[in-house]
Amino acid sequence: MFIQQLSVFVENRPGRLVDVLEVLAAEGLDLNGLSVADTTDFGILRLILSDPARGEKVLKEKGFIVKCTEVLAVDVHDSPGGLLFAIKAMSSVGISVEYMYAFGTKLSNHAMVILKTDDNVKAANTLKESNVDVLSAIEVQQRLKKV
């Protein structure tokens, strides 16, 4: 029901993002999606990887501070109001979204939204009840696979 997301602490100075991406590339890890939240001094890089466990291990070995978190990957129809429907379903039962980011998939007319809420279990159930697809890790990989 949930997928693994890595959060990496990066200082805001030139080359630090390069350092993270190089570690992943050297390990042959596929970067499915990412988002960055930052201040002037530091940022948190959030990554969806093909193999999060290995990603966590290699980044930690390179001295990065890494946290693995469970998040929801939600399938959203790529049309006006597509996301609105999912978010509305959650807000109606009092779930708040801590952060979210989206990326496209190979499946035409479908986008993928990564959600971290204050209650992921409740969020997943609510979404399912509203007929919104909550994707498993395997499904995520399938949708990103080249056709």
Sort strands 134-135 and 66-77 into parallel, antiparallel or unpaired: antiparallel
Q: Which residues of 34-53 are buried (b: 16+ CB within 10 A; e: fewer)?
A: bbeeeeeeebbbbbbbbbbe
Q: Decide whether 69 or 141 has the Cβ nearer to another protein.
A: 69
Question: Which of the stretches 33-41, 105-113, 121-129, 135-143 binds another protein when contact is defined by CB under 8 A?
Answer: 33-41
Cβ at position 66, least distance to another protein in Å: 6
Residues 49-108 that bind another protein (CB under 8 A): 63-67, 69, 98-99
Cβ at position 136, least distance to another protein in Å: 22
Size of interface with another protein, in residues (CB under 8 A): 19
End-to-end alpha-carbon separation of the chain, Å? 24
AA letter at 49: L
Return the ∠ at Cα 51 (arms to 107 and 54), rounded to 5°: 165
Question: Which of the stretches 40-48, 86-94, 123-131, 135-143 binds another protein when contact is defined by CB under 8 A?
Answer: 40-48
- Structure-block tokens of residue 80: 């006006």
Q: Decide whether 39 or 108 has the Cβ nearer to another protein.
A: 39
Cβ at position 53, least distance to another protein in Å: 15
Half-sphere exposure of 119 (CA within 13 A, CB side): 11
Binding residues (CB under 8 A) for another protein: these are 7-11, 16, 37, 39, 41-42, 44, 63-67, 69, 98-99
